[in-house]
Amino acid sequence: MKNAIITGITGQDGAYLTQLLLEKGYRVFGTYRRSSSMNFWRLEELGVVNHPNLTLVEFDLNDITSCIRLLESCQPDEFYNLAAQSFVGVSFDQPIYTAQASGIGALNILEAIRLVNKKIKFYQASTSEMFGKVQEIPQTENTPFYPRSPYGFAKLFAHWATVNYRESYDMFAVSGILFNHESPLRGKEFVTRKITDTVAKIHLGMAQTLELGNLDAQRDWGFAGEYVEGMYKMLQSNEADSFVLSTNQTQSVRRFVEIAFENIEITIDWKGEGALEKGYCATTGKELVSINPKYYRPAEVDLLIGNAQKAKDLLGWIPKTSLHELCSMMVQADLTRNQHGKSF
């Protein structure tokens, strides 16, 4: 039986990866940070929170002694570092904290692995946000980086730390450069889930309008359940490397809004421009979408579209869920949750 440590087990990817590794017969040690209230709703939704091969461990990734003790007690074969301050918007308000959690946190783990057991395979959750300002379309493992937020440059630090530890110390350290991936388990502050949850609430008469920021941003959105399979495959590959995971397609936030409303049989008519743009129901004329500039970011990533050919060729990883399927899955889940008065 293999042992795996997953940091950030309370997050979207942590939950799906836990489910996948348990299905594969792993013993999983999932780390969470101490707080006054426990937050395991995603593991509960997937029905794995009480699995006999899952151990939940309190852990702080900014405390290297805690990293060392974690490795010594769990004796992992594989280490998936998913914990991060992962919200780009907040990173502008909390840049130092973001750098510590999303940047230095990864370095702490790499250093602990180097000291305790260099044979532990390491996965770093890198991101398409490192590409930032468009340098090339589509983006691949060879596209130059140009991050546009404290989150982006913190993750770039962690990415280069991973590459350097791989090259300097002969460690199996992998960087997965993942484009946006969503699911019914996505946090509500991220735009897709904010949209699907509010659309469900509008349908049920629990909300009037959806307030958003930049509708023109374009993202390459895939299904998180498939992306964690890519993470797993990266650690089973013959050689440690860096891999892009993406769907190779892009859509605007505006289009995602339209698709979400189509799920409740509403067509959106757009009128106005910029901060004055609004979305109306095509049949009733009711205002359903408005812009609030407070959701604009100081610097935006305008266009992300990946090319995951390398992952397809070397890992056999191919995403299957279309954006329409993904959006529909999320709207349906939010309709059900809201009908049952669940707020997560």
- Closest separation in Å from C-beta 216 to ligand GDR: 8
Stretch that binds ligand NDP, among 3-11, 166-174, 235-243, 334-342 (CB under 6 A): 3-11
Residue with the two structure tokens 């510590």: 100
Decide if residue 336 touches ligand NDP (CB under 6 A). Answer: no
Phi/psi at 123 (5° precision)? -115, 125
Query: What does the alpha-carbon distance between residue 198 and residue 200 come to, in Å, rounded to a whole number?
Result: 5
Q: Which of 8, 138, 213, 230 binds ligand NDP (CB under 6 A)?
A: 8
Give the distance, in angstroms, between the CA of residue 75 and the centroid of all CA atoms in the same chain: 26
Q: Say whether 291 sits in a helix, a strand or coil.
A: strand
Q: Which does 45 bind (CB under 5 to 8 A by kind): ligand GDR, ligand NDP, none?
A: none
Out of 97, 157, 190, 270, which residue is the one contacting ligand GDR (CB under 6 A)? 190
Q: Contacts with ligand NDP in 48-107 (CB under 6 A)?
A: 61, 82-86, 101
Count the Cβ atoms, other than its own, within 10 Å of residue 145: 18
Contact between 173 and ligand GDR per CB under 6 A: no
Site membership for ligand GDR, residue 180 (CB under 6 A): yes
Between the alpha carbon of residue 70 and those of residues 16, 116, 122, 253, the distances in Å are: 22, 10, 14, 40
Q: Is the dihedral of CA 323, 196, 298, 125 positive or negative?
A: negative
Question: How far is the first Cα of the chain from the last one, in angstroms, to the nearest whole number?
Answer: 34
Spatial distance between the Cα atoms of 222 and 258, rounded to a whole number of angstroms: 17
Interacting positions 299-328 with ligand GDR (CB under 6 A):
300
Residue nearest to ligand GDR (CB): 217
Size of the site for ligand NDP (CB under 6 A): 22
Selection from ligand GDR, ligand NDP, none that 337 binds (CB < 5 to 8 A by kind) is none
Residue 335 interacts, among ligand GDR, ligand NDP, none and using kind-specific CB cut-offs from 5 to 8 Å, with: none
Between residues 279 and 306, which has the closer beta carbon with respect to ligand NDP?
Answer: 306
| Cβ-based nearer residue to ligand GDR, 66 or 252 | 252
Check if the beta carbon of residue 256 is closer than 8 Å to that of residue 191: yes
For residue 244, give the 3-state DSSP assignment: strand
Active site residue 129: yes
Minimum separation from the CB atom of position 100 to ligand NDP (A): 7
Q: Is the separation of the CB atoms in 331 and 196 below 8 Å?
A: yes
Using alpha carbons, select from 11, 288, 331 the residue that is nearest to residue 184: 331
- The answer to whether residue 45 is catalytic is no
Q: Is 127 a catalytic residue?
A: yes
Residues of the shown chain interacting with ligand GDR in the complex, contacts defined by CB under 6 A: 86, 88-89, 127-129, 179-180, 189-191, 194, 212-214, 217, 219, 253, 295, 297, 300
